[in-house]
Amino acid sequence: MRRSTKHELPKQSCWGCLVLLTVACGTPAPDNVTASAAELSCENPTTLRFVPDTGNVAEAYLCFGFDAQAFATSTIRAVHWQAPSATSAFQIHHATLYAVPGDYPDGPLVCDGMPPGAVGLHVWTPGGTNLDLPADAGLQLPAGTQRFIIQSHTLHVGSGPVEDGRVTLCQGPSAPARLAALLGYLSPVPAIRPEHTENSEGICTLGGSVHLWSVWPHMHLIGKEISVDLVRSAGGTQPLIDVVPWDFHAQKTYPLAVDASAGDVFHTHCTWQNDSEQYVFPGPLTENEMCDTAFIAWPAEAAFCQ
């Protein structure tokens, strides 16, 4: 049983880019801390630096473009994040790394959605995890990738110093034994009524047979529970995660070692408790709500929803 200016930036709507919000499993890191490049155990790591600064606006999506030529013939094996410290005036709600087969400005730009062909590679949240794939695995980049994009959902939280964020990337083999890809889907979110408990369910039917490496569930502040089950086409249901009580400030990626078959169905169930006197609507901002599920899986060509 489920338990039941002052440059002014506008608020952003980002449904198109959120479809691909996905993460990979690694060793959990404390808030605002990541491994140094030396700890990544790779040669010539690439570090991307960005300054999440919304000016006087409380919240905005900012995008930054970077050259991706160093990865023209390789995959990505590791992604490690370093966020601004706790004293910084600007904090990151989440940040997503994309690859795009085309040009993109250095930025920062106020961004709403991604350019055509962009593929989400990794998303980081406070208290979340870095990406560390096995040595014989690599994350697939879209053909002809020219630029990386970092999209930072940035919050203005105080009057401290403005600090940068960093993403350090490790190259993986050009033809890995296990070519991984990201598989994510959004479940519907209702208009959550004042002083009500609301529920929603979403599904993804697997297009091919895959090995599941990790799962990342995502809700916002009034989320109470999120669970994901694997309903097998051959019969039977396998619970993958059940996060209760949900804690927005302690989001995690959960490791998996599960083989799933084409036609199996991922079933996500979300519960919210709105104790306020106002409606809470679906959307990407912290005042809104979401019900997201994201996996990393291989082989890449089979990791998609029908």
Largest CA distance in the chain: 60
- Mean pLDDT calculated for residue range 291-295: 91
Query: If you average pLDDT over each of 88-92, 141-145, 176-180, 235-239, which comes out highest?
Result: 235-239
Q: Which fold has domain 181-302?
A: Jelly Rolls (2.60.120)
Confidence band, pLDDT 50/70/90 cuts, at residue 236: very high
Cis preceding linkage at 245, omega within 30: yes
Residue 33 has pLDDT above 70, yes or no: no
Confidence band, pLDDT 50/70/90 cuts, at residue 12: very low
Phi-psi region of 82 (alpha: psi -120 to 50; beta: other; left: phi over 0): beta
Residue 284 has pLDDT above 60, yes or no: yes
Confidence band, pLDDT 50/70/90 cuts, at residue 94: confident
Q: Two tokens at 227?
A: 């669970």
CATH code linked to domain 15-176: 2.60.120.310
* Cα gap 40→78, rounded to integer Å: 7
Residue 102 has pLDDT above 80, yes or no: yes
Contact (CB, 8 A) for 143 and 178: no
pLDDT tens sequence across 37-70 = 445 677 779 999 999 999 989 999 899 999 999 9
pLDDT tens sequence across 174-211 = 899 999 988 889 999 999 999 999 999 999 999 999 99
Q: What is the DSSP letter of 44?
A: S
Q: Any idea which of 59-68, 231-240, 243-252 has the lowest mean pLDDT?
A: 243-252
* Cα gap 69→198, rounded to integer Å: 47
Give span(s): CATH 2.60.120.310, the chain: 15-176
Q: What is the pLDDT of residue 40?
A: 64
Give span(s): CATH 2.60.120.230, the chain: 181-302
- Mean pLDDT calculated for residue range 138-154: 91
List, in order, residues 6 or more apart from 222 with CB less than 8 Å away.
192, 272, 273, 274, 275, 276, 280, 289
For the chain, the average pLDDT equals 84
Cross-strand bridge partners of residue 237: 231
